[in-house]
Structure 1
Amino acid sequence: MSQALNKAGSLEHGKSKAIKTRYHALDALRVIAFGILILYHIGMYYVLEWGWHIKSEQPQAWLQDIMILSNQWRMSLLFLISSMVLTVLLTRIRVNLISYFKHAFVLVGQRTQRLLIPLLFGMFVIVAPQVYIEWTVNGTIDRSFFQFYLEYINPNTQWLKERQSDIGLLTWNHLWFLPYLWVYSLILIVLFPLLAQVGKLPLNFAVFSVLTCTAMLVVWLMLKSRYPTTHDLLNDWYSHAKYMLVMLVGAVVILRPTLWLAFVRWRYISLVVALTMYLLIIADRHDVFGPVGTWMEESWWFRIFVGYVVVVNHWAWLAAVLGFGIRYLSKPYSWVRYLNGGILPYYMMHQTIIVVAAYSLHSIGLPIGLQFVVILSLTLAGCAVTYELAKTNVVSRVLFGLKVRAQVNKSKPFLATQVQASPLSGTKKAV
């Protein structure tokens, strides 16, 4: 293993030194992805039929078609970007295996601090109002928030047994992304010395896309119906297989710079394929093709065909978003730099603010358009205030997952400097 790693690190471009390139497109796409998440969760308040913590008295059926556009890939995009960012960090660790795992152990500690502490804080403090409002609106409880909260944080509570998990009434709701990302990050860190060898494989974009979609299809066929999404971590096997596969794909893309550039070249084709698959899915939802569900039960080959439509839709949107992002967002922006630093506070607070705002406006009777604008404005303002307050002291920074001090890794790169053409300028830059 050590010899293989040394070979991977022996490639040099003349006498050039490794340069730590900032992948500005990833920063921008991460901000945009969380922006989509905020809009999506506001949409969940209004969309017809889909259950959520609180629902509008003016449900909108047309929203389903709009929200389906992103609901099959929006979370995958977040895991993909997280994997790419983590892989960039891992490529900067020294070649020696012992040194790698020494630095990786430090990285695990940093990830634990920035993901699990905010998770616990969020479960005990931020999520509680969501649960209280949901159960109040649907008639499950008729108590003050203080009475509810004492039972909510009590792991031995005897209240509402049917709604308890192994830790009582305590839940993470929308914060499920944090423990999932923590687990997947640990797996990626352990596997990275092996994944580093992938950088030497002759993968072009077409072959890589076919392999990725085939792997996604196997996951979809084997696990989708057997393990429906639960977000409970221990039994959510379809989600684990799907998102861990996306994490591995993200690592390979960073390890193969030619793939990174290929997303730009294939961006229009990816977009056309994505739109085509999306339109097929929407047409099926409106029964254009007839009893597709029955045909899937009767024919294994038809089920495979439907599975390919689903997974190609998933992959093509990820590829299109990455391609256009790399092409047009590969430079620093002040708004990205600011918002990228506040991703976790925004993520942690947004859904609670949406639920509280929607509940507060529920009986006022505002026109739906104005109500949406008010909820969105309150959400963004509340998240911005939270971020500014979170930056004020060490305790709040830790609770909201912000950096406490500069976490700089000064070690030599784990992989060799590789030169790629910039899709913007055509010049060479080191990665």
Structure 2
Amino acid sequence: MTQAYVVNQPRSVSEQVGAFAPEKATAQTRLSQRYVELDALRVIAFGILILYHIGMFYVLDWGWHIKSDVQFSWLQDVMILTNQWRMSLLFLISSMVFTVVLNRGYHTRQSRWVFSANVLGKRILRIMVPLLFGMFVIVAPQVFVEWTASGILEMPFIDFYLAYINPNTELFTDKQSIIGLLTWNHLWFLPYLFVYSVFVLILFPFVRLISEVKSTLLDSLALFSVVAVALMTYIWLELRMAYPTTHDLVSDWYSHAKYFLVMLVGMVIVLRPALYKAIMKARYISLTMAITLYSVIILDRHDMLGATGELMESSLSFRVLVGVIVVLNHWAWLAAILGFAQKYLSKPSKLLRYLNRGVLPYYMVHQTLIVVAAFYLNSRVSSTMAEFIGITLVTFVGCAITYEIAKRFLVLRFLFGLKLKHAPKSK
């Protein structure tokens, strides 16, 4: 068995943004094992995210920073397949790996206060530093292109950038926040993950007591699913309309409740290995349920299930039913993905290790590359297919080049959240 997440062994990048043991394994065995499949899932999830954002350029009716002259309504059905769970999957993975890190701290001689302070310090370096760098440098071209394409901005980039980083700028006062024009756009995942990680760090001593309880009831996937679905349905019913998604961190209460519940679920799964194993065993059931419920959602979007809109307004029981369908679809996809990943993605590889180390730089620069490439190719390429291929190539090649450059220079490793030690020397 490949050993990883072992004390005194090199750690993977999966610990930067946050082990599955046999049911009767010892605590030390748990610490010496690793969810290899989570590294693979992280790479796949970010790959899906990149393709999703390319799709946002072409999908009909959905607003985005920049839109193609040619748009497709059928893309909505394809993208709905993943937008129910793609960000939840990233929070789930981060929570599970972060729980492994915290659980290890309870089996070392290091003071828990010292360990917690070290963990928090690493989170600041590997999440908040890349966030600030991204806001000041990487996101700026997105804003410039968006406002230039919409016709509201007519100035050189350097003039715009000086206004963008100036909290007292007079440019577009109606678009400013308390920090001026500065924004995090697609990097919203980073501040959310940091805040949730702080709460996980605080709650962990209490949540980890779950691992001490010897009860088959806590390992029941059916019971666990009922509780998770019930809680998420309540969140969906009470907060979704009152607090629509904003990604502004301050007033985004529906997103907070949803994603932090996902984080808690990830913690429990790690602390109850038998439950994680049950998820793998039920993977085909979860996949069948996910496909069925996704089909129901798509049929309703195409008005093939009757006057559901009127019932949503007039019937509480129907709203509850819809909430259960949406939420169960969300959890079924996550369970199916985790289950199949355990079965088929648990073997390490050199390619996986390489891609996993580059996930954060890829995430940081991909949307800027998409927006800039789309802006310049939209009026210069005659074929939509050629345009799509061009944007895709620019994005993935640009991400790869960014990672290759960043990992070779100490300062860039720091700014992109990469581990500082063992950096290859630049030539």
Q: Please report the TM-score for the alignment, with normalisation by the length of structure 2.
A: 0.90
Alignment correspondent of 2:259: 243
Alignment correspondent of 2:324: 308
User: Does residue 168 of the first structure (1) align with residue 180 of the second (2)?
Assistant: yes
Distance in 2 (CA, whole Å) between partners of 1:148 and 1:88 is 44
Alignment correspondent of 2:307: 291
Distance in 2 (CA, whole Å) between partners of 1:191 and 1:232 is 24
Select the residue among 71, 94, 100 that pairs with 1:88: 100
User: Does residue 271 of the first structure (1) align with residue 287 of the second (2)?
Assistant: yes
Alignment correspondent of 2:128: 116
Residue type at the aligned position of 1:301: S
After superposition, the C-alpha distances for 1:308-361 in whole angstroms (9 at most, x for unaligned) are 000001000000111001100011021110010011100000000000110110
CA positional deviation for 1:159: 1.4
CA positional deviation for 1:105: 1.2
User: Does residue 193 of the first structure (1) align with residue 205 of the second (2)?
Assistant: yes
CA positional deviation for 1:61: 0.7
CA positional deviation for 1:72: 1.0
Residue type at the aligned position of 1:184: Y
CA positional deviation for 1:290: 2.3
Q: 1:18 to 1:184 in 2, by over 3 A?
A: closer
Computed over aligned residues only, the root mean square deviation of the Cα atoms, in angstroms, reads 1.7
Distance in 2 (CA, whole Å) between partners of 1:85 and 1:326 is 14
After superposition, the C-alpha distances for 1:252-307 in whole angstroms (9 at most, x for unaligned) are 00000011111111100000000111011101110112221221110110000000
Alignment correspondent of 1:149: 161
Distance in 2 (CA, whole Å) between partners of 1:120 and 1:17 is 38
State the identity as a percent. 57
Residue type at the aligned position of 2:185: N
Alignment correspondent of 2:51: 39
- Map 1:27-426 onto structure 2 (within 5 A): 27-94=39-106, 99-199=111-211, 200=213, 201=215, 202-203=217-218, 204-405=220-421
Distance in 2 (CA, whole Å) between partners of 1:291 and 1:164 is 41
* Structure with more contact order per residue of length (Cα contacts < 8 Å, sep ≥ 6): 1
CA positional deviation for 1:139: 1.2
Which SS does the other structure have where 2:111 is aligned? helix
Alignment correspondent of 1:412: none
Q: 1:19 to 1:90 in 2, by over 3 A?
A: closer
CA positional deviation for 1:17: 6.0
Residues 31 and 104, structure 2, Cα contact 8 Å, conserved in 1 = no
Q: Which runs of 5+ in 2 are unaligned?
A: 1-22, 423-427
Distance in 2 (CA, whole Å) between partners of 1:399 and 1:96 is 30
Residue type at the aligned position of 2:165: I
Distance in 1 (CA, whole Å) between partners of 2:334 and 2:347 is 20
Distance in 1 (CA, whole Å) between partners of 2:189 and 2:26 is 43
CA positional deviation for 1:371: 1.6
Distance in 2 (CA, whole Å) between partners of 1:18 and 1:274 is 31
Distance in 2 (CA, whole Å) between partners of 1:143 and 1:336 is 43
Residue type at the aligned position of 2:62: W
After superposition, the C-alpha distances for 1:380-421 in whole angstroms (9 at most, x for unaligned) are 100000001111122100100001137xxxxxxxxxxxxxxx
CA positional deviation for 1:367: 1.8
Residues 406 and 416, structure 2, Cα contact 8 Å, conserved in 1 = yes
- Deviates further, 155-164 or 359-368: 359-368
Number of aligned residue pairs: give it: 396
Distance in 1 (CA, whole Å) between partners of 2:120 and 2:65 is 33
Q: 1:57 to 1:16 in 2, by over 3 A?
A: closer
Distance in 2 (CA, whole Å) between partners of 1:146 and 1:238 is 37
Distance in 2 (CA, whole Å) between partners of 1:13 and 1:372 is 50
Distance in 2 (CA, whole Å) between partners of 1:328 and 1:392 is 33
Distance in 2 (CA, whole Å) between partners of 1:104 and 1:125 is 31
Residue type at the aligned position of 2:159: Q
Distance in 2 (CA, whole Å) between partners of 1:252 and 1:183 is 19
Select the residue among 26, 38, 50 that pairs with 1:26: 38
CA positional deviation for 1:16: 7.1
Distance in 2 (CA, whole Å) between partners of 1:86 and 1:366 is 47
Which SS does the other structure have where 1:91 is aligned? helix
- Deviates further, 365-374 or 149-158: 365-374
Distance in 1 (CA, whole Å) between partners of 2:63 and 2:200 is 34
Residue type at the aligned position of 1:73: W
Which SS does the other structure have where 1:401 is aligned? coil
Distance in 2 (CA, whole Å) between partners of 1:15 and 1:326 is 21
Distance in 2 (CA, whole Å) between partners of 1:244 and 1:259 is 20
Which SS does the other structure have where 1:92 is aligned? helix
CA positional deviation for 1:172: 0.3
Q: Please report the TM-score for the alignment, with normalisation by the length of structure 1.
A: 0.89
Residues 59 and 76, structure 2, Cα contact 8 Å, conserved in 1 = yes
